[in-house]
């Protein structure tokens, strides 16, 4: 055991900041707002209001993930074909290092009633639209924020792909589309899954965007957790929602993180 | 005790969990100043012996002695033994000089001594002037030499070499075989060389241990092992052989392929079932009338120095023949051989 | 070919549009983000005159540097422990390690808030620092572990064979070998810390604030062009970091890639 002594801080971290918080969340979910032990939070969670919110959260998360994937895959694919691909990739990563709040803030200006986008709409003759504080702006900004995290793993998966496999497919008579569908896409599926994980899970907890961009029109589970912990001080209810978020997260991980998939290919 | 003995294995067994032992009750002695080869197929236990000597693993049962002292629990860093690894295991973050100096720096040797010794070791392996090179700038053969220099600079009593030539191409490998043999003579220390390549083993060793399934099948000089294999496994593993079963009719008389032949072997029980080995180069092409065996040629390959003929006798036994003469496929030919060419082995395996 | 170029150009345009939009209007004397009146540096002057903001920037930096340094030290040893762990423990440890990476920020924030409240730790500098260390550790581990696994185990055997004890093996072979991973882990931890909003938002209190939290509260009050000026400065700082990082990795890869 002596040789593991150097890792004591790490073991402490696992105990205090990984295991303990999970236990605490579950523990708190069994207390009502007055601090009495009860199952009232779970009863509340299964009322239409919360079930609807849960459904909405997952629907938005799904939309954000799907749109990100649709835009990111071609982007990643085209990036691997460019000349200075490492430089272009760096340019994709660079915006992720700009604070998320600043990017959200930028859209306050862009999407504002007199903002650049509406000015463009005006010029095109579409007319001014209410962009801010809509579902659309929430999804758009979320996709904007997450898209590099989708591009990156797909790009890496494409880069790892052995180019002679594509030659082989072409040699065996597959056209470009068949090659993509039967060879390239299946072999980059791990990258796609990693990307979906990196987008879907965080998009469940974008409370700051719902507040800034969607103007409380979109209430997701993440917003509700924040509301209960920091505004209404009903920690029990917040913890209950967190429990369901954790369950959802674990099932998504189990679904997409299955390594056996790789073997089957 | 014989003071020429450096290492002694006393009934050593190595077993992982509940699997079959990788090394099964093995005893042997290693003497000072000789070139030993551990030869066998992968998984035979040869690398396990090496790792036991180096101290990377401990025996499950039995004892290992070094200069007469039991060293079962002495860790690798406290042993007077150094290893040349199969993948060389050169430190990629250090240059050639620092790789070779690694062991000396650990011993906190004075700087000037390190400088001198490293240079000397590099000269020994013909790598003068490469001190400042990075490892990735060196070719496979050069890395090999760095690995050797790094080991011998510590002046070990025993140098362990774990299939060090397997990553090199054929030409370089042959060159390194000469060099290693020469190096061992000049250093005068014991080399224990692990390989699965029988030609390499025959060419380089003073003594060969043939291993299979965790047991030593045979030990002896290359000539002993080649000429007098003790069992089917050794005969098959060392060189290409014709191995067929037969019966020892009496001393100096053996029967196989439904014929009786004079041989030089004796001391077997009457009518004992035995294995017979005849090397392909001991079979001589001749006419059907003059041949001791009558065979039909099935295929012919040109091997450069000789033809390799694959023939079958009327009983369906396959005979491999190396001959400078050519024969046509389908042709009936005779095979002649001397009584000395027949080597009779007990079927159980002992000599 | 042409379509694909257009597509990429469009993606990059959308990606950078908001950032340059912010920067452009930081020079607007008009005070809004839609009508550019004339060029001014007033907003920058305002930023530099705002001592409260400067203190927050300082806090953010201190938290980022401290937390990523400590997380790197703990994470490196954690990675080594996982590397040496028995096979059946390895997967469990890795799962535990990754929980915080895949958890939604609100859950990390909420659970840490409960933890600090129960432990009696006052919300403020300490709680924020501890949280940042906590969510940075698994990132460092994930950056370091592949380097360890890529290292041939015979390197360790070779070092021991040459007389190195465990301490020598660690300091002379393992740590130098994984140095690139350690640097990458440190930089990742640094950016995570600088970028974090949600966790900090939950566990901060007592007047202690980081840049993200401050921008959030200012943005909620509407548009103020001093935020634009601040974001321009931050963007330049990020660019500077990227260039430093790029030059550093480029140097090591040139060193490693020479033939």
> pLDDT tens digits for B155-187?
999 999 999 888 888 888 888 899 899 999 999
Residue C106 lies in a domain: yes
On whether the CB atoms of residues B319 and B283 are closer than 8 A, the answer is yes
Residue A117 CA, chain-centre distance (Å), reads 25
Sheet strands side by side (includes B307-313): B284-286, B332-336, B293-302, B307-313, B318-323
Q: What is the pLDDT of residues B300-313, one digit of tens each?
A: 998 888 899 999 98
User: Per-residue pLDDT tens for C51-96?
Assistant: 988 899 999 999 999 999 999 999 999 999 999 888 888 888 998 9
pLDDT tier for residue A257 given thresholds of 50, 70 and 90: low
For the cut 50, the answer to whether the pLDDT of residue C257 exceeds it is no
Mean pLDDT of chain C: 88
**A93, containing H or E segment:** helix A85-93
Q: How many domains does chain C have?
A: 1
Cross-chain residue pair C162–B150, CB shorter than 8 Å = yes
Which residues of chain B lie closer than 8 angstroms to C161, CB-CB? 54-56, 76-77, 81-83, 151
Give the DSSP H/E element, type plus range, for residue C168.
helix C166-168
Q: C residues 151-170 near B, CB within 8 Å?
A: 152, 154-155, 157-165, 168
pLDDT number for residue A215 = 77
| Chain A CB contacts of C97 below 8 Å | 14, 18
State yes or no: pLDDT of B14 exceeds 90: yes
Is B237 contained in some domain?
Answer: no
ipTM rounded to 2 decimals: 0.85
What's the pLDDT band for A11 if we cut at 50, 70, 90? Answer: very high
CA distance A94 to A70: 21
Q: Write the CATH number for A175.
A: 1.10.3720.10
For residues B183 and B291, membership in a common domain is answered with no
Q: Are B39 and B226 in contact (CB under 8 A)?
A: no
Is there a single domain that holds both residue B46 and residue B167? yes
Report pLDDT digits (tens) over C97-120.
988 888 888 999 999 999 999 999
Residues 6+ positions from B143 with CB-CB distance below 8 Å? B88, B90, B135
CA B105 to chain centroid, in Å, comes to 34
Please, which residues have CB within 8 angstroms of residue C9's CB and are 6 or more apart in sequence? none
Contact exists between C and B (3 or more beta carbon pairs < 8 Å): yes
pLDDT digits (tens, 9 = 90+) for A185-215: 898 998 999 899 889 988 887 888 888 887 7
The domain of A61 spans 47-264
The rounded distance, in Å, linking the Cα atoms of A64 and A137 is 11
In C195-254, the residues whose Cβ lies within 8 Å of chain A are: 195, 197-198, 201-202, 211-212, 215-216, 219-220, 222-223, 227, 231, 234-235, 238-239, 241-242, 246
Is residue C183 within 8 Å of residue A192, measured between CB atoms? no
- Does C100 map to a domain? yes
Q: Closest Cα partner for A13 from C70, C126, C118, C85?
A: C70
The pLDDT tens digits for B183-219 are 999 999 999 999 999 889 999 999 999 999 999 999 9
| Helical residues (DSSP H) of B5-45, grouped into ranges | none
Those residues with Cβ within 8 angstroms of residue C193's Cβ, 6 or more apart along the chain or in another chain: C63, C64, C67, C68, C132, C136
Nearest 5°: CA angle at A65, between A63 and A68? Answer: 105
Residue ranges making up the domain that contains C201: 52-222
The chains found to touch B (3+ Cβ pairs under 8 angstroms) are: C
Q: Give the β-pairing of B5-14 and B332-336.
A: unpaired
Q: Are residues B263 and B174 in the same domain?
A: no
Structure confidence at residue C251 (pLDDT): 65
CB neighbours of residue A33 within 10 Å: 15
Quick check: is B351 in a domain?
no
Rounded percentage of chain A residues whose pLDDT exceeds 70? 95
Domain boundary among B185, B202, B232: B232
- If one counts the domains in chain A, the total is 1
pLDDT score for C191: 85
Residue with tokens 């594509």: A166
A7 touches chain C (CB under 8 A): yes
Closest CA to B294 of B276, B311, B269, B274: B311
Q: Is residue B155 domain-shared with residue B130, that is, in the same domain?
A: yes
CB B44, CB B213: distance < 8 Å: yes
pLDDT score, position C256: 43
Domain holding B77, by residue range, is: 5-232
Query: Residue A6's pLDDT is what?
Result: 84
- The torsion region of residue A123 among left (phi > 0), alpha (psi -120 to 50) and beta comes to alpha
Confidence at A3, pLDDT banded by 50, 70, 90? low
* Residue C252: per-residue pLDDT: 59
| pLDDT, tens digit (0-9, with 9 covering 90-100), for A65-104 | 999 999 999 999 999 988 888 888 888 988 888 888 888 8
Q: What is the CA radius of gyration of chain A?
A: 23
- Nearest CB neighbour to A97, from listed C97, C166, C191: C191
Length of chain C: 259
Lowest-pLDDT range, B239-243, C31-35, C36-40?
A: C31-35
How many structural domains is chain B composed of? 2
Q: How many other CB atoms sit within 10 Å of the CB of residue B158?
A: 21
Q: Write the DSSP symbol of residue A96.
A: G
B278 with B342: CB under 8 angstroms? yes
CATH number at residue C108: 1.10.3720.10
- Classify A30 as helix, strand or coil: coil
Q: pLDDT at residue B147 above 90?
A: yes
Boundary of a domain, candidates B178, B197, B232 = B232
Q: Which H helix or E strand runs over B194?
A: strand B190-195
Task: Flag the least confident range among A8-22, A118-132, B91-105, B123-137.
Answer: A118-132
Q: Tell me the Cα Rg of chain B.
A: 24
pLDDT of residue C235: 87
pLDDT band at C259 (very low <50, low <70, confident <90, very high): very low
Yes or no, beta carbons of A102 and C108 under 8 Å apart:
no
Kindly state whether residues B327 and B214 are assigned to the same domain: no
Please identify, among B197, B232, B267, the residue that sits at the C-terminal boundary of a domain.
Answer: B232
CA atoms within a 13 Å half-sphere pointing along the CA-CB vector of C7: 15
CATH of the domain at B9: 3.40.50.300
> Which pLDDT does position C258 carry in this prediction?
37
Find the DSSP H helices in B76-139: 96-106, 111-124
pLDDT of residue B1 exceeding 70:
no
Q: Are C195 and A229 a contacting pair at CB < 8 A?
A: no
In this structure, the answer to whether residues B185 and B258 fall within a common structural domain is no
């Amino acid at each position: 055991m002596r040789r593991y002594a150097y890792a004591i801080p790490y073991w402490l971290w696992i105990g205090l900041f990984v295991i303990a918080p999970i236990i605490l969340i579950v523990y708190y979910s069994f207390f009502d707002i007055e601090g009495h032990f009860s199952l009232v939070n779970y009863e509340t969670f299964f009322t239409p209001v919360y079930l609807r919110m849960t459904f909405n959260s997952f629907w938005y998360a799904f939309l954000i993930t799907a749109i990100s994937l649709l835009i990111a895959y071609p982007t990643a694919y085209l990036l691997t074909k460019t000349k200075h691909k490492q430089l272009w990739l760096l340019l994709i990563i660079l915006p992720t290092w700009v604070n998320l709040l600043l990017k959200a803030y930028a859209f306050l200006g862009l999407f504002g009633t007199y903002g650049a986008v509406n000015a463009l709409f005006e010029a095109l003759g579409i007319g001014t639209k209410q962009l801010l504080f809509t579902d659309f702006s929430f999804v758009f900004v979320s996709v904007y924020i997450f898209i590099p995290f989708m591009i990156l793993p797909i790009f890496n998966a494409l880069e790892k792909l052995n180019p002679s496999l594509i030659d082989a497919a072409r040699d065996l008579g597959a056209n470009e589309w068949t090659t993509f569908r039967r060879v390239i896409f299946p072999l980059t599926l791990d990258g796609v899954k990693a990307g979906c994980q990196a987008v879907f899970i965080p998009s469940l907890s974008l409370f700051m965007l719902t507040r800034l961009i969607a103007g409380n029109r979109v209430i997701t589970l993440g917003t509700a957790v924040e509301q209960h912990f920091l505004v209404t001080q009903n920690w029990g209810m917040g913890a209950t929602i967190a429990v369901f978020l954790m369950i959802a997260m674990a099932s998504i991980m189990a679904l997409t993180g299955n390594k056996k998939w790789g073997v089957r290919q | 005790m014989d003071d020429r003995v450096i290492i002694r294995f006393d009934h050593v067994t190595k077993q992982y969990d509940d699997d079959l032992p990788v090394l099964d009750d093995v005893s042997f002695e290693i003497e000072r100043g000789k070139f030993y080869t551990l030869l066998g197929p992968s998984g035979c236990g040869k690398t396990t012996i090496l790792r036991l000597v180096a101290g990377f693993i401990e025996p499950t049962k039995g004892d290992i002695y070094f200069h007469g002292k039991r060293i079962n629990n002495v860790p690798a860093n406290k042993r007077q033994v150094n290893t040349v690894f199969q993948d060389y295991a050169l430190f990629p973050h250090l240059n050639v000089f620092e790789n070779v100096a690694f062991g000396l720096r650990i011993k906190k040797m004075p700087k000037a001594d390190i400088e001198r010794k490293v240079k000397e070791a590099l000269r020994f392996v013909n790598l003068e002037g490469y001190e400042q090179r990075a490892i990735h700038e060196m070719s496979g053969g050069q890395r090999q030499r760095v690995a050797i220099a790094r080991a011998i600079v510590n002046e070990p009593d025993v140098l362990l070499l774990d299939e060090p030539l397997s990553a090199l191409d054929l030409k370089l490998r042959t060159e390194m075989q000469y060099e290693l043999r020469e190096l061992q003579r000049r250093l005068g220390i014991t080399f224990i060389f692990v390989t699965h390549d029988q030609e390499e083993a025959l060419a380089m060793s003073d003594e060969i241990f043939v291993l299979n399934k965790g047991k030593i099948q045979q030990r002896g000089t290359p000539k002993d092992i080649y000429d007098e294999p003790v069992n089917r496994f050794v005969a098959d593993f060392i060189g290409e052989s014709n191995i067929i079963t037969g019966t020892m009719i009496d001393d100096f008389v053996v029967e196989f392929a439904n014929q009786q032949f004079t041989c030089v072997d004796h001391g077997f029980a009457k009518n004992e079932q035995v294995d017979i080995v005849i090397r392909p180069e001991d079979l001589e092409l001749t006419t059907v009338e003059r041949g001791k065996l009558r065979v039909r040629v099935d295929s012919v390959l040109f091997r450069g120095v000789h033809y390799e003929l694959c023939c079958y006798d009327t009983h369906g036994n396959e005979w491999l023949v190396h001959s400078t003469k050519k024969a046509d496929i389908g042709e009936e030919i005779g095979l002649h051989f001397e009584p000395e060419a027949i080597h009779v082995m007990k079927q159980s395996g002992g000599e | 070919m042409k379509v694909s170029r257009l597509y990429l150009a469009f993606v990059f345009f959308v990606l950078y549009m908001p950032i340059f939009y912010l920067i452009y209007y930081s020079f607007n004397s008009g005070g809004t983000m839609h009508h550019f009146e004339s060029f001014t540096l007033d907003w920058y002057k305002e930023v530099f005159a705002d001592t409260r903001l400067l203190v927050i920037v300082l806090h953010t930096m201190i938290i980022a540097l401290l937390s990523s340094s400590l997380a790197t030290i703990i994470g490196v040893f954690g990675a080594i422990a996982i590397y040496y762990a028995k096979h059946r423990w390895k997967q469990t440890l890795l799962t535990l390690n990754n929980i915080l990476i895949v958890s939604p920020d609100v859950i990390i924030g909420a659970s840490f808030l409960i933890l600090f409240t129960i432990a009696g730790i006052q919300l403020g500098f300490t709680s924020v620092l501890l949280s940042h260390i906590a969510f940075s550790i698994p990132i460092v581990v994930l950056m370091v572990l592949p380097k360890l696994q890529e290292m041939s185990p015979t390197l360790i055997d070779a070092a021991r064979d040459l007389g190195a004890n465990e301490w020598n093996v660690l300091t002379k072979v393992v740590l130098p070998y994984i140095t690139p991973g350690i640097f990458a882990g440190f930089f990742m931890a640094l950016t995570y810390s600088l970028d974090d909003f949600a966790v900090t938002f939950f566990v901060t209190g007592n007047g202690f604030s980081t840049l993200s939290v401050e921008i959030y509260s200012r943005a909620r009050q509407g548009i103020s062009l001093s935020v634009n000026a601040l974001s321009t400065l931050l963007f330049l700082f990020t660019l500077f970091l990227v260039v430093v990082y790029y030059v550093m990795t480029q140097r090591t890869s040139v060193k490693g890639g020479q033939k």
